[in-house]
Amino acid sequence: MLLPIPMQVSNPRHVGAQTQPVANVVLILLNVLGYLLQPSYIWAVGPNSAPWTILTYGFIHAGWWHVLFNVWYLWVF
């Protein structure tokens, strides 16, 4: 059965506080920052668009709920 929440794996060597990988925290911060700073015109992608739009496209979100679920997914998985 597929669940949207991962099952916890116990590892006896790592008993104690669980920490998030640094890459996840950085991606979460970049997603939130990208959402807060995204101008409305960045959706206009065409032949004269800037070359970095291929990277910034990954941080564009449709709304606050989209950011929330993306960040939740990064945090949980």
Q: What is the pLDDT of residue 3?
A: 55
Domain range list for the chain:
20-36+52-77
What pLDDT is stored for residue 40 in this prediction? 56
Q: What is the pLDDT of residue 49?
A: 67
Helices (H), the chain: 22-37, 53-56, 64-76
State pLDDT tens for residues 25-77. 888 888 788 777 766 555 555 666 676 666 666 666 677 777 788 788 877 77
Residue 38 CA to residue 60 CA, distance in Å, equals 7
- The model's pLDDT over 3-20, given as tens digits with 9 standing for 90+, comes to 566 556 666 565 555 666
Report yes or no: 74 and 27 within 8 Å, Cβ to Cβ: yes
What phi and psi, each to the nearest 5 degrees, are found at residue 69? -70, -35
Residue that the structure tokens 């006896």 belong to: 12
> With 50 as the cut, is the pLDDT of residue 1 above it?
no
